[in-house]
Amino acid sequence: MVFWGDYNADVWNRSYKDDRVKAVAALDPGLIHGLDAMNAEDLVDNVLLLGLGEGEDRLLATDFNQSGLAQLLPQAEQHILAPANHYSALPVCTDIGPAILEDEEDDPVCTDPEEADRAALHVRIVELIAEQFGLTRAD
């Protein structure tokens, strides 16, 4: 098993740019705190950042504004989608899903903020990605 502390800093911090990647969409991205200009210098120009939730519904670990990621990527198109939370991009839950999760003492992945519409959020996410990358629907 490899632990974080076992990585050489030069290997960890080097560029892993893949020239085949021309665009990126990041939905509520994690592991973004502590990045600096060096980490962003090799990134592609066509970037879409989608954040889920506002205020207390916004997960600090994925908040690209609070982390500084948005400032490192000034060319990125940014959208905050609300009402929503980090789990709102997961599939629509069944009617009994929230009760099962509560009984199991699991994360509340079926519990969205009041007034949220998970299915409509999914449509909006697809629309934003399609718009950003010039994708058209084949009818």
Quick: pLDDT tens for 21-80. Answer: 999 999 999 999 999 998 898 899 999 999 999 999 999 999 999 999 999 999 999 999
Query: What is the structure's pLDDT at 4?
Result: 60
Q: What is the number of H-type helices and E-type strands within the chain?
A: 6, 3
Query: What is the structure's pLDDT at 10?
Result: 83
Split at pLDDT 50, 70, 90, the class of 1 is low
The per-residue DSSP string of 69-93 comes to HHHH-TTSEEEEE-S--GGGGSPPP
Query: What is the structure's pLDDT at 5?
Result: 63
Domain annotation covers residue 83? yes
Token pair 């010039």 is at which residue? 134
- Helix, strand, or coil here: 111? coil
Pick the more confident residue, 5 or 68. 68
Query: What is the structure's pLDDT at 11?
Result: 81
Residue 66's domain comprises: 23-132
Summarize pLDDT for 92-113 with one digit per residue, the tens: 999 999 999 999 999 989 999 9
> What percentage of the chain carries pLDDT values higher than 90?
81
Domain annotation covers residue 124? yes
CA triplet 37, 38, 39: central angle to 5 degrees?
90
Domain annotation covers residue 8? no
| Number of folded domains that form the chain | 1
Domain annotation covers residue 61? yes
Query: What is the structure's pLDDT at 12?
Result: 76
Report the distance separating Cα 89 and Cα 5, nearest Å: 32
pLDDT of residue 3 exceeding 80, the answer is no
Six-digit token string for 27: 């939905």
Report the distance separating Cα 38 and Cα 47, nearest Å: 17
